Amino acid sequence: MNTSQPGLVVPYVATWSGEHWDDLPHLVERPGGAGIAYPDEILGDRDRMGVLWDRATGRPGHGKPQYAKVHPLRQRRAMRKLLCQVCGTPADTTEHGVLWLLRDTGVPCLADMLVTEPPICWSCARLSVTVCPALRKGHVLVRAGSFPLYGVDGIRYRAGRPDPVPVEHWAVPFTDPAIAWTLAAKLVRDLGDRTVLDL
């Protein structure tokens, strides 16, 4: 949990006003039409799958919390390592799976359940439903027995002149060649073998 003031609850994955990244970064087309790149790209700009990620500074606790804006690097770390999205410690895990707290959209999900929200621990789940306005409107607590990495959520680009052009915001699987044209902002998991729980 990030905090700069006593008593202030700021989720681990939230962004602070002292952290910056460009909403429309300057991107170029890779040689041979092989996707997008930063003109000054460094090794840390891509993950081990070769996906290009939003650049963001890491200064948690600096400035004011921006609850609705998820920090791409902390979200990715929490999803990959199955850390609680609120406190950043390991999420609640049993022999039946890992715990997720999701907003209730009112749409039943019988098949795939793609999520960008990292998992959660029990104590943070109880806290979140009381302090988060979006969750107070409705939430679903799910234990997932399977949760493979699916792909990324971000902005898809197309070739353009002089620079690539942003087209749409989408979730793309790692198996789709269009991922080379996607600037990732969040890691996506597919929750399966789900059990709905009650806090």
Task: Please write down the HEC assignment for all residues of the chain.
Answer: CECCCCCCCECCCEEECCCCCCCCCCCEECHHHCCEECCCCCHHHECCCCCEECCCCCCCCCCCEEEEEECHHHHHHHHHHCECCCCCCECCEECCEEEEEEECCCCCCCCCCEECCCCCCHHHHHHHHHHCHHHHCCEEEEEEEECCEEEEEEEEEECCCCCCEEEEEEEEECCCHHHHHEEEEEEEEECEEEEEECC
The reported pLDDT for the residue numbered 177 is 95
Distant-in-sequence, close-in-space partners of 106: CB < 8 Å, separation ≥ 6:
138
For 140-155, write each residue's pLDDT tens digit. Answer: 999 999 999 999 999 9
Average pLDDT over the chain reads 90
The reported pLDDT for the residue numbered 138 is 86
- Cα–Cα distances in Å, from 13 out to 70, 119, 159? 6, 11, 32
Residue type, 86: V
For 81-108, write each residue's pLDDT tens digit. Answer: 999 999 999 999 999 999 999 988 766 5
pTM score of the predicted model: 0.90
For 20-52, write each residue's pLDDT tens digit. Answer: 877 678 999 998 889 999 999 999 999 999 999
Contact indicator for 186, 116 with CB cutoff of 8 Å: yes
Average pLDDT over residues 109-119: 82
The reported pLDDT for the residue numbered 104 is 80
Task: Please write down the HEC assignment for all residues of 145-182.
Answer: EECCEEEEEEEEEECCCCCCEEEEEEEEECCCHHHHHE
Contact indicator for 81, 119 with CB cutoff of 8 Å: no
pLDDT of 4 above 70: no
The reported pLDDT for the residue numbered 7 is 61
Residue 86 main-chain phi, psi, to 5 deg: -95, -50
Contact indicator for 9, 1 with CB cutoff of 8 Å: yes
β 149-158/93-94 pair status: unpaired
Contact indicator for 65, 181 with CB cutoff of 8 Å: no
